[in-house]
Amino acid sequence: MAENTRVLVVGTTPDYILWIQQVAPDRAVFVTDQALRETAAEPPPPDEVLYDPDDEDGLRDAIRRLLRDRRFTLNGLVCYDCDSMELAALLARDFNLPFPSIEAIRTCRNKEAQKQAWRQDGVPCPSSEVIRLSGAGPIPRSRMAPPVVVKPVKGSGSELVFLCQATGDRDRALERIGLGIQNRQGGHRSGAGGAETSLALEEAYCAGEEFSCDFLIDQGQVAVIRVARKIKSPAFPFGTILGYELSPGTYREIATPAFIALLKRAAEALGIQRSICMVDFVMGDQGPCFLELSPRPGGDCLPTLIQQSVGLDIRKFALDFAAGRATPCPDPEQFKPLVGLRLLINRPGELTGWDVRAVETDARVQGIEIKRQIGHHVRVPPEDYDSWLLGHLYFKPHSRTSLQAQCEGFLNRMSIVLD
Q: Are residues 149 and 89 in the same domain?
A: no
Q: What is the CATH number of the domain that holds 16?
A: 3.40.50.20
Q: Which residues of 287-321 are buried (b: 16+ CB within 10 A; e: fewer)?
A: ebbbbbbbbbbbbbbbbbbbbbbbebbbbbbbbbb
Determine the Cα–Cα distance for residues 240 and 357; give it in Å rounded to an integer.
26
Answer whether residue 211 is part of any domain: no
* Within a domain: 55: yes
Single out the residue in 180, 204, 228 at which a domain terminates.
204
Backbone angles phi, psi at 252, to 5 degrees: -65, -40
Residue 221 lies inside a defined structural domain of this protein: no
280 falls within a domain: no
For residue 352, tell me if it sits in a domain: yes
Give the pLDDT confidence score for residue 180 in this predicted structure: 84
Element counts in the chain: helices (H) and strands (E):
13, 19
pLDDT at position 194 is 47
Query: Distance (Å, rounded) from C-alpha 291 to C-alpha 95?
Result: 32
Q: What stretch of H or E contains 77?
A: strand 73-78
Cis previous bond, 53, omega within 30: no
- What was the pLDDT predicted at 185? 62
- Same structural domain, 62 and 22: yes
Torsion sign (Cα): 292, 295, 301, 303:
positive
- Side chain identity, residue 383: E
Per-residue CA distances from 225 to 78, 79, 133, 327, 330 (Å): 17, 17, 39, 10, 6
CA 354 from centre of chain = 27
Look at the chain and count its residues. Answer: 419
**Contact call for residues 12 and 20 (beta carbons, < 8 A):** yes
Domain annotation covers residue 299: no
Q: What is the CATH number of the domain that holds 358?
A: 3.30.470.20
Same structural domain for residues 68 and 132? no
269 found inside a domain:
no
158: CATH: 3.30.1490
Tally of domains in the chain: 3
Q: How far apart are CA 53 and CA 161, in angstroms?
A: 27
349 and 415 co-located in one domain: yes
Amino acid identity, position 408: E
Same-domain status, 73 and 19: yes
CA-CA distance, 338 to 253, in Å (whole number)?
Answer: 16
Interatomic CA distance for residues 212 and 281, integer angstroms: 6
Q: Which residue from 347, 380, 394 is spatially nearest to 243, judged by alpha carbons? A: 394
Residues 31 and 82 in one domain: yes
pLDDT of residue 382: 87
Residue 416 covered by a domain: yes
Q: Which of 162, 180, 204 is the last residue of a domain?
A: 204
Point out the domain boundary residue: 188, 204, 220.
204
Q: Give CA–CA dist 160/190, Å, rounded.
A: 11
pTM: 0.92
pLDDT of residue 6: 97
* 301 three-class SS: coil
As a whole number of angstroms, the distance between CA 320 and CA 339 comes to 26
Show pLDDT as tens, one digit a residue, over the chain (419 residues).
457 999 999 998 999 999 999 999 999 999 999 999 999 989 999 999 999 988 989 999 999 999 999 999 999 999 999 999 999 999 999 999 999 999 999 999 999 999 999 999 999 999 999 988 865 556 777 888 889 999 999 876 678 999 999 878 888 888 888 888 877 664 444 344 444 557 899 999 999 999 999 999 998 999 999 999 999 999 999 989 999 999 999 999 999 999 999 999 999 999 999 999 999 999 999 999 999 999 999 999 999 999 999 999 999 999 999 999 988 899 999 999 999 999 999 999 999 999 999 999 999 999 999 999 999 999 999 889 999 999 999 999 998 899 999 999 999 999 999 99
Asked if 310 contacts 336 with a C-beta cutoff of 8 angstroms, the reply is: yes
Whether 365 and 411 map to the same domain: the answer is yes
Residue in 301, 277, 295, 261 with CA at minimum distance from that of residue 225: 277
Sheet with 349-355: list strands edge to edge.
377-378, 349-355, 415-418
Do 52 and 135 belong to one domain? Answer: no
Note the pLDDT of residue 193.
Answer: 44
17 and 54 both lie in a single domain: yes
Within 8 A by CB and 6+ apart from 287, the residues are 124
Nearest to 306, CA basis, from 274, 342, 283, 330: 330
If asked whether residues 10 and 93 sit together in one domain, one would say: yes
Looking at the structure, do residues 9 and 95 belong to the same domain, yes or no? yes
**Domain, as residue range, for 50:** 5-99
Task: Verify that 95 and 131 share a domain, yes or no.
Answer: no
- Cα 403 to Cα 316, 340, 356, 413: the distances in Å are 29, 11, 20, 16
Residue 102 CB contacts under 8 Å (≥ 6 apart), including other chains: 86, 89, 90, 93
- Which pLDDT score, from 0 to 100, does residue 133 have? 80
